[in-house]
Structure 1
Amino acid sequence: MKRTLKTLLIILSILSANVSLATESNTPLNAKELNDIINPPGAAALNIMVNALSSLKELRKQNRANNENVKTLIKIKFLPNLAINYSTQLTLKNHWSNLSKEQKYLFQRYITQSLIKDYAGYLGAYEQLESINISVSPNIKRKDNKAIVKLLISFDGNPKPFKVTLNMIHLDRWRIYDVRFLGVSIIKTYQAQFNAYIKRKGLERLIEKISKKLAKG
């Protein structure tokens, strides 16, 4: 009887310890910690690209992948995943603080429209959608709420995929604020164009020029 009671006490103590450990491991995570586990930047980047290409594939299957439809696809699939405000701020850099709220919005609109055209060109370049393979490089660089994700894209099992680098920032979720292809950064390209124009004619003239372009559509 004593031996049975002793065995029972040992079993209960083990169970108690296991319950304690289980309780510790099941501590609720805050929203940021949970999001890092279920939606890391690499997965977010891959989902954005695969989702857009799948939609493009469907448009082509129905012979409706004209330029306007591809632009609409980008507005639906890409734009919600872009950190346009942050991208615009980085593009204008030292000039950002000198702009009014209306002028900042003006540049955001201009860059948004330009990105739609650029991305339409990029997507239009993907001809072999049936044989495309996209993967995420394991070397993801992270610092605070930013990440650099490299997507490896290949066609027909080509052993030499090309790279598309996505610079991402976590706001309410992971969003793209810059894209680099063949070493060329979209933000750096706009930045160089703006700075060259400002140096020649000034910031006010650039604002006037952009206003006219937006007015023309």
Structure 2
Amino acid sequence: MTLTRRQWHRGAAALAAAWCLGPVTAHADETPDALVRRLSTEVLDAVRADKAVQGGDIGRVIALVDRMVMPHVNFRRMTAAAVGPGWRQATPEQQRRLQDEFKVLLVRTYAGALAQVSDQTIQVKPLRAAAGDQDVLVRTEIVGRGDPIQLDYRLEKTPGQGAGWKIYNLNVLGVWLVETYRGQFAPEINARGVDGLIEALSARNKNNAQRG
């Protein structure tokens, strides 16, 4: 699917909101759709109340992501899926660097779009899942000015300490985040290996930082 420029900007705003999910106390018995509904409402309220985030303050956005988002995201799985087969050949240090650079890339890519969050509301569609499912799709729409924005979440049920539902992929307007980046990363890995991808991500992040 090819997005128009207007669709991309509206989708980026929705995805940016998804990356700033509000802080919550985990509820072991909370269903995934209830979790998404509650988090989505809190993030919109939080973004509207934070002028620094709306202004694209990168330091503020990164702090927000670390504090609010990461407890609800299986970011290791997300990064591994985006890197593809090369992840299994990467050393623990390479995997750490990949996660760090990938997070910065995502935050910088969507920070500016936070300024577009204004009067949107969230509509969570009925969950199509059995009671015992451990991997589910939660479908939502961002409703505001213009056409509704499709924003879907893939979540998995995690056991043990910190058990609960974790997000590991996002779909904006029919485009899955992980698959999009895997398509960008694969040529770099094929040409220069995992270290080449790390260097490319680092250079891209530094360039973005210099450009503001």
* Partner Cα separation in structure 2 for residue 173 and residue 122 of structure 1: 29
1:170 aligns with 2:157: yes
Identify the residue that residue 14 of structure 2 maps to in structure 1: none
1:200 aligns with 2:191: yes
Specify the structure having the higher radius of gyration (Cα). 1
Change beyond 3 A, Cα 1:95–1:113: same
Change beyond 3 A, Cα 1:198–1:175: same
Asked if 1 retains the 8 angstrom alpha-carbon contact of 2:61 and 2:107, the reply is no
1:135 aligns with 2:126: no
Deviation at 1:117, TM superposition (A): 2.2
* Partner Cα separation in structure 1 for residue 40 and residue 194 of structure 2: 35
* Partner Cα separation in structure 2 for residue 70 and residue 170 of structure 1: 27
Deviation at 1:122, TM superposition (A): 4.1
Unmatched tracts of structure 2, length 5 or more? 1-26
User: Equivalent residues in 2 for 1:6-155 (5 A)?
Assistant: 35=28, 38-60=29-51, 65-68=54-57, 69-126=60-117, 128-129=118-119, 132-141=120-129, 144-155=133-144
RCO (CA 8 Å, sep 6+): is it higher in 1 or 2? 2
| Higher helix residue share | 1
Deviation at 1:197, TM superposition (A): 1.4
Number of residue pairs the alignment of both structures matches: 175
1:209 to 154, 177, 200: 200
Q: RMSD of the alignment, in Å?
A: 2.7
Deviation at 1:108, TM superposition (A): 0.8
Q: What is the TM-score when the length of structure 1 is the normalising length?
A: 0.69
Q: Give every structure 1 segment of 4 or more consecutive aligned residues whose post-TM-superposition deviation is greater than 6 Å.
A: 214-217
CA deviation map 1:30-78 (0-9, x unaligned): xxxx83xx31000111222222111111124xx7732113443333332
Amino acid at match of 2:138: V
Asked if 2 retains the 8 angstrom alpha-carbon contact of 1:135 and 1:151, the reply is yes
* Partner Cα separation in structure 1 for residue 197 and residue 65 of structure 2: 27
Change beyond 3 A, Cα 1:65–1:122: closer
Change beyond 3 A, Cα 1:212–1:120: closer
* Partner Cα separation in structure 2 for residue 42 and residue 198 of structure 1: 36
* Partner Cα separation in structure 2 for residue 119 and residue 50 of structure 1: 19
Amino acid at match of 1:161: P
Deviation at 1:213, TM superposition (A): 5.6
Q: What is the TM-score when the length of structure 2 is the normalising length?
A: 0.70
CA deviation map 1:152-210 (0-9, x unaligned): 22116x7x532101111222221211111111111112111110212333333223334
Asked if 2 retains the 8 angstrom alpha-carbon contact of 1:75 and 1:116, the reply is no
